[in-house]
Chains A and B, each alone.
Chain A
Amino acid sequence: MKGLHIFGLSHSYGNNQVLDNVGLMIPAGELVCMLGPSGCGKSTLLRLAGGLEKVQKGNIVIDDVTVGSTEFHLNPEHRRIGLMFQDYALFPHLDTVRNVTFGLIGMDKEKARRKAMEMLDQVGMTSHADKYPHMLSGGQQQRVALARALAPEPKLLLLDEPFSGLDTNMRQRIREETLSVLKQSGVTTLMVTHDPEEAMFMSDRIKIIGAKGRILQVGRPHEIYYHPNHEFVAKLFGMMNQFKGVVRNGQVETPLGEASTDLPDGAEVEVLVRPEGIILEENQSKTETLVELRSSHLLGHDNIVRVRVQGVSKELYVRVHHSFEIELAKQITARLDPEYTFVYALDENVSPPNRYNKSKLVNLQAVTGE
């Protein structure tokens, strides 16, 4: 059973518990992304996996070998891992090649250099081999850091917010390149980020982390986006429209019509709708809700539109296709797209049993190796 396995990990700094009984599994060769807000303990998890922190409680296993447990700590240098930091941590006194050969211990010089050049070639940095870190741009530094981390062929690669230091233009390109390099190398990868888009783009599987490192949901990007099983997860992907209501006969009344749910009758709930989950149309039947336009901004492919439901003071955020010239519409109606509409109980204990179990099940599966 190759890959990374984490069991029952708890960790605290002083009185501040950052991880509480966390379990996690990454099958060999997969790229898993931990997505969560800052302070959720994801960096601590990464540091523990890397051996930069000692395990206080729990077990960490890489490729069938326990590298950290309550009683035992294997130092990072013996774990055969690759680590990439937010600030890249390139060694300022070494040029690019020597940064990359740094991890190639025991290899003869010529061979190490060849290997380093190979890695640099993969990331397209051969022409900068003799430069020092301070002479490189952020994107170039990132690529050198990646080459350096991969050169010793680690069993596990840990990436800590690897793209956050880059500007937007470059970020997309670097992401693509990085992904292709990672796929090519087939290394098991754990990446932490607070950027959902990044997580969606990069990973085979996303793990959403809430407070104290609790894993709220595990799934492929598609599942996470379309079936967020937790309010917290749903909200990660940006602005949501929120309505409060009470369940009656499996339905919740919203200003835009009813949303269905399997929560028990009488439960107080919150309905979350993604901006693309509100469908605006011109001049449809009277049964639908009329809204008035407040503002509209073209963002390229989409318009982001603010509308107000007549009689309701609340503004709604809606994403509409650019071809819909909303300013010209005389009368606009709005309805919910059930695919982007999620209902959660306000009181967490009222969650429907099946859904709660489902998330548990996923976790358990992760642990036992699916």
Chain B
Amino acid sequence: MTSASSSIKIADGTTKVSLSWLNGWTLGTIVIAMIAILPIAAVIFISLTPGDDIWEHLMSTVLTLYISTTLGLMIGVGIGTLLIGVGTAWLVSMCRFPGKRMFEWALLLPMAMPAYVIAYLYTDILEYSGPLQELLRDLFGWKTKREYWFPEIRSLGGAIAMMTLVLYPYVYLLSRAAFMEQSVCVLEASRSLGRGPYRSFFGVALPLARPAIIIGISLVLMEALNDFGTVDFFAVSTFTLGIYDVWLNMNNVAGAAQLATVLLLFVLFLVLSERFARRKQRFHHTTTKYKALPGYLLEGWRGRFATLACALPVVFGFVLPSAVLANYSLVHFEVAMNPEFIGYAVNSFMLSALAAILAVAIGIFMAYGVRLRNERLLKVMVRMASLGYAVPGSVLAVGVLVSLGSIDNGIDGFMRSNFGISTGLLFSGTIAAVTFGYLVRFLALSFGSVEASLGKVTPSMDGAARSLGHGPLSTLRRIHLPMIQGSILTASMMVFVDCMKELPLTVILRPFNFHTLATFVHQYASDEQLGEASLAALSIVGFGILPVIVLSLAITRSRPGHAEEEEVS
């Protein structure tokens, strides 16, 4: 044995490279995660600063109301988006019916519509003094409100309806991608076992798509939890409204941060319990065989029903509100058409594109870092880093303010005392601060979808590529990125559209004289003059749908085996 070992040498040269490279990913992931956690940590820090105790007051008055309203909102929006999102995704992916090709992308359109805008528009249409009720009164000769019943738009139910209409595309998008990625063999196996298409759906397709659907629903729920514009306008007392109330009306930022921390813990609890529930399940691509999806032909009333089921959300979530907006824009064109308007649109577009690219790049980096080194610490940190989505926008903005402010003032203090130079504020109040805010907020979107789809690539792909002489980076670039292209596009699209609509972070963090379409809309919306802001609101929608349509087509194309689908169908 000794003679043998004497002839053995250690592989040289590559040693350091290989080890430090792996550490580079891990280190990078940790550093990025820590930076992203900063604002959330700042919020928690603020919650620990002394302030009036709000809990006793809240508990004896409105806390139960906040909680029950919030739960009601979550349940309502959750069920609504689940039904619409998964149902339409299934119809569009698995069935053939009139208009299917169009609905594939059209169902995404409401995503571009900010919830608060749709809330304004529907209030105009549906309130007591709106055209619909006026028409009803004229038709039936009613004189006062007490003579008939009409659902109140400014209510919890109204808020649920508004949010469901604009948020279901998240669920649709993710579950459709999941349905398309499913091996058709699994579905065929199910049908050969004597299950019809409906039972195959509930027994096989749905459970397989569950992780994607859950991600979609959790994104929706976090958006619903965070919403301020809609619930404020409808005066629906959610937890988030309570946070703003404590913060602004009671001038108690510590108390608001405490409430936000509780909200955060609640979301964390939901996320963890969901992960725990499916801890044993692994969802890898079951096969490399793809065939065209079955495409059950729906004829007659079934076909018409499918068309109607897909048309309703698009009409109410997009077509109708856009038409109203377009009408407003025409009426108010002179006021609305501001020469600086183009500049705002460019700002919005550039900033959103930058944030989308960065968020996806960072999301890929972190997800791949975790894949390379499946360590608990890393996982926890990465999970924490994507919690920004669970904090109401303005509260997160305060977290960003505080963390960037301390960094800036820390550097400034250091430079002053050591070199006598004042660096002032390096990040606060810059485009970088806004971008940082966007990233912290929307990292969950990009990381979540990248992680989910990376998880579906079997580890033997990594092994194969690595054994063929490709390092982690090359493997990522040549194997994973092309394989998860669809999800990358999806993620960038979601971040982009969300940034276009984003308001509180932009408003609070932006530099002087800087406007986006959303802030432009906001100044009028805050004064309840949507007419003047209608053109800008319409542009948000317009800029938002462009990438939605383009990317939706790309996603369809990205499914392996899709090319043959044309020939088959």
Direct contact of A and B (CB under 8 A): yes
Contact B15 A74 (CB under 8 A): yes
| Contact of A50 with B by CB under 8 A | yes
Bound together, the chains give a CA A78 to CA B469 distance in angstroms of 6
Q: Tell me the nearest residue of chain A to B13, going by C-beta.
A: A78
| Contact of A65 with B by CB under 8 A | yes
Q: Which of A85-93, A322-330, A352-360 contacts B (4 or more CB under 8 A)?
A: A85-93
Bound together, the chains give a CA A66 to CA B10 distance in angstroms of 5
Contact B18 A89 (CB under 8 A): no
Q: Tell me the nearest residue of chain B to A23, going by C-beta.
A: B1
Contact A64 B560 (CB under 8 A): no
Contact A76 B463 (CB under 8 A): yes
**Residues in B254-295 with C-beta less than 8 Å from chain A:** 287-291
**Residues in A28-83 with C-beta less than 8 Å from chain B:** 47, 50-52, 61, 64-67, 72-83
Q: Tell me the nearest residue of chain B to A151, going by C-beta.
A: B468
Q: Tell me the nearest residue of chain B to A157, going by C-beta.
A: B467
| Contact of B378 with A by CB under 8 A | no
A1 contacts which of B4, B10, B11, B22 (Cβ < 8 Å)?
Answer: B4
| Contact of A367 with B by CB under 8 A | yes
| Contact of A369 with B by CB under 8 A | yes
Contact A77 B4 (CB under 8 A): no
The residue among B1, B458, B460, B560 with the most chain A CB atoms within 10 A of its own CB is B460
Contact B471 A89 (CB under 8 A): no
| Contact of A102 with B by CB under 8 A | yes
B467 contacts which of A79, A90, A93 (Cβ < 8 Å)?
Answer: A79
Contact A81 B467 (CB under 8 A): yes
Bound together, the chains give a CA A132 to CA B22 distance in angstroms of 32
Binary interface profile of B, 416-441, with partner A (CB < 8 Å = 1, else 0)? 00000000000000000000000000
Knowing A52-B463, A367-B1 are in contact, say whether A77-B8 is a contact too (CB < 8 A): no
| Contact of A148 with B by CB under 8 A | yes
A85 contacts which of B18, B21, B464 (Cβ < 8 Å)?
Answer: B464
| Contact of B14 with A by CB under 8 A | yes
Q: How distant is A205 from chain B, measured CB to nearest CB, in Å?
A: 18
Bound together, the chains give a CA A102 to CA B478 distance in angstroms of 9
Q: How distant is A337 from chain B, measured CB to nearest CB, in Å?
A: 40
Q: Tell me the nearest residue of chain A to B289, going by C-beta.
A: A134
User: Which residues from chain B contact A83 at a C-beta distance below 8 Å?
Assistant: 463-464, 467
User: Which residues from chain A contact B15 at a C-beta distance below 8 Å?
Assistant: 72, 74
Binary interface profile of B, 1-28, with partner A (CB < 8 Å = 1, else 0)? 1011001111100110011011000000
Contact A75 B18 (CB under 8 A): yes
The residue among A1, A67, A102, A133 with the most chain B CB atoms within 10 A of its own CB is A102
Contact B14 A74 (CB under 8 A): yes
Bound together, the chains give a CA A158 to CA B460 distance in angstroms of 13
Contact A72 B10 (CB under 8 A): yes
| Contact of A368 with B by CB under 8 A | yes
Contact B288 A76 (CB under 8 A): no
B18 contacts which of A73, A87, A149 (Cβ < 8 Å)?
Answer: A73
The residue among B1, B466, B482, B560 with the most chain A CB atoms within 10 A of its own CB is B466
| Contact of A189 with B by CB under 8 A | no
Q: How distant is A47 from chain B, measured CB to nearest CB, in Å?
A: 8
Contact A50 B4 (CB under 8 A): no
Bound together, the chains give a CA A197 to CA B226 distance in angstroms of 62
Bound together, the chains give a CA A52 to CA B291 distance in angstroms of 32
Knowing A66-B8, A66-B10, A105-B470 are in contact, say whether A132-B560 is a contact too (CB < 8 A): yes
Q: Tell me the nearest residue of chain A to B290, going by C-beta.
A: A134
**Residues in A221-278 with C-beta less than 8 Å from chain B:** none
- The interface size of chain A toward B, counting residues with CB under 8 Å, comes to 48
Contact B483 A65 (CB under 8 A): no
A65 contacts which of B11, B460, B468, B561 (Cβ < 8 Å)?
Answer: B11
**Residues in A1-28 with C-beta less than 8 Å from chain B:** 1, 5
Knowing A78-B11, A78-B14, A93-B482 are in contact, say whether A85-B460 is a contact too (CB < 8 A): yes
| Contact of B479 with A by CB under 8 A | yes
B468 contacts which of A1, A67, A72, A102 (Cβ < 8 Å)?
Answer: A102
Bound together, the chains give a CA A88 to CA B21 distance in angstroms of 27
User: Which residues from chain A contact B471 at a C-beta distance below 8 Å?
Assistant: 75, 77
Contact B465 A102 (CB under 8 A): yes
Q: Tell me the nearest residue of chain B to A101, going by C-beta.
A: B468
A149 contacts which of B290, B467, B560, B561 (Cβ < 8 Å)?
Answer: B467
**Residues in B69-125 with C-beta less than 8 Å from chain A:** none
**Residues in B440-483 with C-beta less than 8 Å from chain A:** 458, 460-472, 474, 478-479, 482-483
**Residues in B11-66 with C-beta less than 8 Å from chain A:** 11, 14-15, 18-19, 21-22
| Contact of A210 with B by CB under 8 A | no
| Contact of A141 with B by CB under 8 A | yes
Bound together, the chains give a CA A91 to CA B472 distance in angstroms of 16
Knowing A75-B466, A134-B288 are in contact, say whether A91-B560 is a contact too (CB < 8 A): no
| Contact of A162 with B by CB under 8 A | no
Q: How distant is B100 from chain A, measured CB to nearest CB, in Å?
A: 23
| Contact of A196 with B by CB under 8 A | no
Bound together, the chains give a CA A67 to CA B10 distance in angstroms of 7
Bound together, the chains give a CA A82 to CA B474 distance in angstroms of 17
Contact A89 B10 (CB under 8 A): no
Q: Tell me the nearest residue of chain A to B3, going by C-beta.
A: A368
Contact A369 B289 (CB under 8 A): no
| Contact of A213 with B by CB under 8 A | no
Bound together, the chains give a CA A105 to CA B478 distance in angstroms of 12
Q: Tell me the nearest residue of chain B to A86, going by C-beta.
A: B460
Bound together, the chains give a CA A132 to CA B485 distance in angstroms of 17
User: Which residues from chain A contact B561 at a C-beta distance below 8 Å?
Assistant: 134
Contact B467 A102 (CB under 8 A): no
**Residues in A263-317 with C-beta less than 8 Å from chain B:** none
User: Which residues from chain B contact A134 at a C-beta distance below 8 Å?
Assistant: 288-291, 560-561
A89 contacts which of B460, B472, B478 (Cβ < 8 Å)?
Answer: B460
Bound together, the chains give a CA A60 to CA B14 distance in angstroms of 16
Bound together, the chains give a CA A82 to CA B483 distance in angstroms of 22
Contact B288 A92 (CB under 8 A): yes
Q: How distant is B481 from chain A, measured CB to nearest CB, in Å?
A: 10
Bound together, the chains give a CA A158 to CA B288 distance in angstroms of 21
Contact A85 B468 (CB under 8 A): no
User: Which residues from chain A contact B479 at a C-beta distance below 8 Å?
Assistant: 91
Bound together, the chains give a CA A90 to CA B288 distance in angstroms of 8
Q: How distant is A113 from chain B, measured CB to nearest CB, in Å?
A: 16
Contact B7 A89 (CB under 8 A): no
Knowing A1-B7, A73-B19, A74-B11 are in contact, say whether A51-B289 is a contact too (CB < 8 A): no
The residue among A103, A141, A145 with the most chain B CB atoms within 10 A of its own CB is A103
Bound together, the chains give a CA A183 to CA B300 distance in angstroms of 62
Bound together, the chains give a CA A67 to CA B18 distance in angstroms of 12
Bound together, the chains give a CA A302 to CA B113 distance in angstroms of 74
Q: Tell me the nearest residue of chain B to A50, going by C-beta.
A: B467
Bound together, the chains give a CA A163 to CA B561 distance in angstroms of 25
Contact B482 A133 (CB under 8 A): no
Knowing A66-B9, A92-B288 are in contact, say whether A82-B467 is a contact too (CB < 8 A): yes
Contact B7 A64 (CB under 8 A): yes
Contact A76 B483 (CB under 8 A): no
25 residue pairs A–B, Cβ–Cβ below 8 Å = A50-B463, A52-B463, A64-B9, A65-B9, A66-B10, A66-B11, A74-B18, A77-B467, A78-B11, A78-B18, A80-B469, A83-B464, A83-B467, A85-B464, A91-B483, A93-B482, A93-B485, A102-B468, A103-B470, A105-B470, A134-B289, A134-B291, A134-B561, A368-B1, A369-B4
Other than A73-B18, A86-B460, give 18 A-B pairs with Cβ distance below 8 A. A61-B8, A66-B8, A74-B15, A75-B21, A75-B472, A77-B466, A85-B464, A87-B287, A88-B288, A89-B460, A91-B464, A102-B478, A105-B468, A105-B469, A105-B470, A134-B289, A152-B469, A368-B1
Spell out A's residues near B (CB within 8 Å).
1, 5, 47, 50-52, 61, 64-67, 72-83, 85-93, 102-103, 105, 132-134, 141, 145, 148-149, 152, 154, 158, 367-369
Spell out B's residues near A (CB within 8 Å).
1, 3-4, 7-11, 14-15, 18-19, 21-22, 287-291, 458, 460-472, 474, 478-479, 482-483, 485, 560-561
The 4 A-B residue pairs with the shortest CB-CB distance, nearest first, are: A103-B468, A83-B467, A89-B460, A76-B466
